[in-house]
Copies of this chain bind each other. A is one copy, B any other.
Amino acid sequence: MKVGVFDSGIGGLTVVKSLLEQKLFEEIIYYGDTARVPYGSKDKNTIIRYSLEALEFFKNFDLDIVIIACNTASAHAISELREVSNIPVIGVIEPGVLACSQTITDKNSNILVLGTKATIGSRKYETSLKQMGYKNLISIPTGLFVPIVEEGIFEGNVLNSALAHYLEELKNIDAVILGCTHFPLIEKEISQYLGGCTTIHSGDAIVRYLKDEHNYDKNFKETKVTFFASENPESLKNTARKWLGSLLND
């Protein structure tokens, strides 16, 4: 089985990590639109246009499935992508919502959704979580977390002051949905800042979703991963080596 994984840049590597840990696929083709990253501050039409172009990029790879490992693209472009695709296209929002419903059974729990401006602005998580029966939802765009992670900062004063900037007023959060694929890299810090609450991680949610909703639960000996980027693929590969380490074969 061959999967295409798309993200605006490097964030989707956290989803690749989950796929590699489970050895779910024989082959992963990763495409990061690094020449136009980030998507999270851009508007709906731009995000749709760029996402459709990414799908076009995957066309010659004879894929079985495409994963949109970017919350912003999933929030704004998933219907448009599905409309033109001959193979299944899975975003990260439905899996995240499903993972939340499996993890947090008390519908009166306080659920916090963090994401880019575009993801939070789409209200996609909010709408789906409400449909699931959750009553106490808070959504906060935490745009600075993305460049902070891209700057290689995963702890310390800069991150702590950004956490305080966005989350200072919050109390009694039971679970936080990491609604941006960059955020798993600061998962512990976000959870700790919120008093040790449960986290929902897009990558792990995708794995669970493939098993539960698509009955897809393979286990291959190894996964071949090839990285592409709309600019500077070498830089993307370096980050992949740093973040994924021994999970990569090469």
Contacts and interface: CB of A to CB of B under 8 A. Distances in A.
Interface stretch (A13-21, A38-46, A190-198): A38-46
How often does this chain occur in the complex, in copies?
Answer: 2
Interface stretch (A72-80, A154-162, A169-177): A154-162
A42 B231 contact: yes
A161 B157 contact: yes
Contacts of A151: 143-144
Interface in A131-177: 143-144, 146-148, 150-151, 153, 156-158, 160-162, 164-165
A170 to B, nearest CB: 17
Contact of A143 (B37, B147, B232): B147
Contact of A45 (B157, B158, B164, B231): B231
25 contacts: A34-B42, A35-B36, A35-B42, A36-B36, A37-B41, A41-B150, A42-B231, A42-B232, A43-B231, A43-B235, A45-B231, A46-B231, A143-B151, A144-B144, A144-B151, A153-B165, A156-B165, A157-B164, A157-B165, A158-B158, A158-B161, A158-B162, A158-B165, A160-B161, A161-B161
